[in-house]
Amino acid sequence: MTTGLIPGEQPSEPRPKGGLPHPRQEPSGQAAQHVDNRSRSSVITARAAASFEPQGRSVASARSFVRDTLQGWGFADILDDAVVLTSELVTNAVVHAGTAADVLCLRTEDGVRIEVADRYPKRDIPVQGIADDMASPDREGGRGLQLCRALANRWGVDYTPTHKQVWFQLDLPERPVGTRAAGPSLPADLLPLADGRVRVAVVQIDRTGAISAWNEDAEELFGYAAEQVTGKPLTDFAAWPHTPGTGTGIAEALQLSRWEGSYGIRGADGRITPVYASHLRVRDTDGEPSTVCLLVRDHERAVLQTPLRMASSDSGGSGEGQSTDPFEVFIGSPAPDDLDGLLQRTVERARDMLDGDSAFLLLATDDETELEVRASTGLPSARQRFARVPVEAGPGRYGSARMPAVHEDLTMVPGAVPLLSGTGMRSVVTVPLKVEGRLTGSLGVAAEAPRRYSNEEALRLQFAADRIALAVESARLGELERLRRGSLSFLVEASDLLAGTLDRDQTLALMAQMTVPTLATWCAVYTIADQASEPYLSYVLHEDEELIDGIKSLLSKIPPPDPVPTPGARVWSAPAQAAHEAALRTSMRSLGLGEPVRRVSSGIGPTLATAAAVGGETVVLPLVARNRVIGMLTLGKPTDEHFRQEILELAEDLSRRAALALDNARLYSERTAISQSLQRSLLPPELPEIDGVEVEVIYRAAGEGNEVGGDFYDLFPISDGAYGFAIGDVCGTGPNAAAVTGLARHALRLLAREGLSGPAVLERLNSAILDEGARSRFLTLLYGELRPQEDGSAELKVVCAGHPLPLRLRQDGTVEPAAEPQPLLGVMEDLELYEQTVTLDPGDVLLCVTDGVTERREGTRMLGDDGLTEVLTTCTGLTAGAVAARIMRAVERFAQDAPSDDMAILAMRVPGLHTD
């Protein structure tokens, strides 16, 4: 079906299609009077068009199209006649003629004109002699025209080369001046209940959606003075309900020519007042549009509410051979594809069928112990959406959703239907939805007047419920399957993200970002350091970043939830209560009513927006890892919203994964801190300052998170004027190599300070390494003693045990080894080592490196001793720090990949006589 709506169109000749029209065949006799007298001077104010395929269900679709169109235009008085005539004419087109049908509705000031055209112009309509055949009910042909003659004010038939068109005109009935609708006189006890004085708030909204007028009754109802609200958007005060299956919001509603319904206004005290509103779009003399809103308290809706329409009759003839689908009769065609749309259409049609004020539909949980509210119409707000009620609420037929029930007056049985508490509904009828004997849901219709429903209405509603139960269950299972597939994808992605980090802060941020806004509007994560610690608010996130600080401030002022290890979500009411109290205090101050007794602490105070953000349902899920509660995940909704059970189950699965990831991050952080502390203990303290000698060290440990590896260095005082220095390389990297590093560095200091010579120090260190047994590792080591001389030079005594030879850079740029190679340590028990003496003249540099520098590789290339020598020759005249930096830069640039081995560089330089 395709439809179109074009407002404000001028009149035209009746739809010529496909070229020049054939001469019009006029009905004769009495029927001709209808045709000849039709008016062509009325202005067409709106039109709606639709096309229907040649199939039986198109008749019901056409009825729904005309019904919805005329209801939208406010033509309830002629609705039934129009639906019956359209049904007959479309049946003639799609069933008897076997072609598609085009339906056009034209709205005029006096009524409506409906045209039905088919694609079978050769099938003549027997308009001649219609008056003679009216008395023959058995005649098959011309039945639709008989009804047109009997019901329409004017009608006629047009022919074109490709189409045949039948049209009829229905005029609005004349009413006394000033009367739009009237009802009978009623006894006083049956009149709608209102307060002592009915207040009608008149609010005018300009084209931008801002409030431009606010009368005294609005001030009295909502607590705001006109100057407080003028110029502010209505959306700042309106609590607009979410209607499943539709996309109309407050901004769209304000643009409609007319709108009527329920929503809420957030008052100055922070509470939401349910209101019933009637919107009218107008324009001033300058053509500027605005919307006038009339509002009353919802229980006084009778003051503004348009009289409810009666259910239209679809009992008109449907033509020979048409099979009527009971589901389509109730729901209409085409049926909505999504579950929410189907449920919303169901409650609206159920309300209309029993002429109710509201209707609601609940679906059963998997275990059939509870019912969840999934759709409603006519209720003050959507606050009960996704709320749950037990299937067996009490004894007898009134306490079980498995049986039809009629409550003649809810005031006589308080709490019988919790969903309707505080809504003003007095009588209600509910029936179960069952599939193969299994309870799948419950459908209810309620009215404000008592004793409106009896067993007869319950049977009618049960009949309709039986027609739709299977379709609803099929749609529900489809939605559940889509939700489960989406949940699995969500959990897989969440697991990958959580497993990809061991950083605690990043894990907290991921937890929050995965829940908002997918599962909740806002969330907060509390962490518990140990069993003796109180929960700490570690992270807060809201889908609106501007509200994060307000929520964080609000949560910091209330005690955290108890760390209960029981799995599953539990409701936490403290945030909503604190938000309401904070909003009330804020409103009192803004109205100049004085400071409350308990002052709000300094900082970012909760605002009305914060109160609305956390005013809905809040749940807490424990974060349990390794049989210990390590925190809580708090999820929240804004005012009047609840969580679906499927969402809570998904959040519980996520919380288990997040708890393990958070605990892994905690353990990793603890072990990293311990490792770094131990590694730092293996590094030497600050290097001593040596008069007459510049010293610079650069150290890089391979591997992420390592501060110390198998390479090490040291420089320490031995005695007056003498200093020991060492640079070594333990076989391997990581913790095992670092353990030997610690042994070597501390043993060197201890033995050197005992006054032993260099060879003796290394021989005893060799014995200590071999004593480690299986944990021992061989070690290359360059050890020496440094003594600055009075003439500005420096004397070095060096032992090179298997280590890369130290290089001496002279002032003339020549480079030469400063020692000879000797056996490494940790391999043989008996070592014969000797020391060599080297004198550094002013301006000379001694460079000592580990093999991580010389063995730096790029593919098959290696830096090597020659490459290091070449770089060192360019360092003449540089300080020790500049020499070490240039060597490290050359090593890093030699290859693109990160170094795979530890590296240490020790540069010592004797300053020249004229060095600054």
pLDDT of residue 683 exceeding 80, the answer is no
Return the ∠ at Cα 122 (arms to 31 and 2), rounded to 5°.
85
Could you report the per-residue pLDDT of 273-283, keeping only the tens digit for each?
989 898 888 88
How many Å apart are CA 435 and CA 438, to the nearest integer?
Answer: 5
pLDDT of 874 reads 92
Is the pTM here over 0.75, yes or no? no
Within 13 Å of residue 605, how many CA atoms lie on the same side as its CB?
15
Coil/strand/helix, residue 560: coil
pLDDT of 13 reads 41
Structure tokens at 313: 């009759």
pLDDT of 608 reads 66
pLDDT of 726 reads 93
Inter-residue contact 405 to 413 (CB < 8 Å): no
Q: Which residues of 591-629 are buried (b: 16+ CB within 10 A; e: fewer)?
A: eeeeeeeeebeeeebbbbebbbbbbbbbbbbbbbbeeeb
pLDDT of residue 134 exceeding 70, the answer is no
Could you report the per-residue pLDDT of 465-518, keeping only the tens digit for each?
888 888 888 888 877 777 777 677 777 777 777 777 778 888 888 888 888 888
pLDDT of 476 reads 81
pLDDT of 492 reads 76
Beta strands in 448-568 (DSSP E): 522-527, 536-542
Task: List, in sequence order, the alpha helices (H) in 568-644.
Answer: 574-590, 608-614
Q: Which of 490, 631, 609 is nearest to 543 (CA)?
A: 609
Arithmetic mean of pLDDT over the chain: 78
pLDDT of 842 reads 92
Q: What is the mean pLDDT of residues 374-381?
A: 76
Confidence of residue 334 (pLDDT cuts 50, 70, 90): low
pLDDT of residue 215 exceeding 90, the answer is yes
pLDDT of 870 reads 92
pLDDT of residue 201 exceeding 90, the answer is yes
Inter-residue contact 606 to 550 (CB < 8 Å): yes
Bridge partners of residue 612, in order along the sequence: none
Query: Cβ–Cβ contacts within 10 Å for residue 898, how many?
Result: 10
Inter-residue contact 642 to 386 (CB < 8 Å): yes
Beta strands in 408-544 (DSSP E): 427-435, 438-447, 522-527, 536-542
Q: What is the mean pLDDT of residues 706-714?
A: 72
Q: What is the mean pLDDT of residues 573-601?
A: 65
Q: CA separation (Å) from 842 to 386, 691, 879, 912, 916?
A: 86, 13, 12, 4, 13
pLDDT of 508 reads 85
pLDDT of 332 reads 59
Which amino acid type is present at position 128? Q
Between 166-180, 254-268, 783-797, 828-842, the lowest mean confidence (pLDDT) is in 166-180
How many Å apart are CA 81 and CA 611, to the nearest integer?
Answer: 51
Confidence of residue 694 (pLDDT cuts 50, 70, 90): very high
Coil/strand/helix, residue 903: strand
**Higher pLDDT pick, 736 / 115:** 115
pLDDT of 247 reads 44
pLDDT of 330 reads 64
Query: Cβ–Cβ contacts within 10 Å for residue 646, how many?
Result: 18
Inter-residue contact 494 to 500 (CB < 8 Å): no
How many Å apart are CA 250 and CA 203, to the nearest integer?
Answer: 14
Between 415-419, 431-435, 681-685, 790-794, the lowest mean confidence (pLDDT) is in 681-685
Q: What is the mean pLDDT of residues 385-395?
A: 64
**Higher pLDDT pick, 743 / 221:** 221
Top-ranked range on mean pLDDT: pick from 39-53, 118-132, 465-479: 465-479
Confidence of residue 396 (pLDDT cuts 50, 70, 90): very low
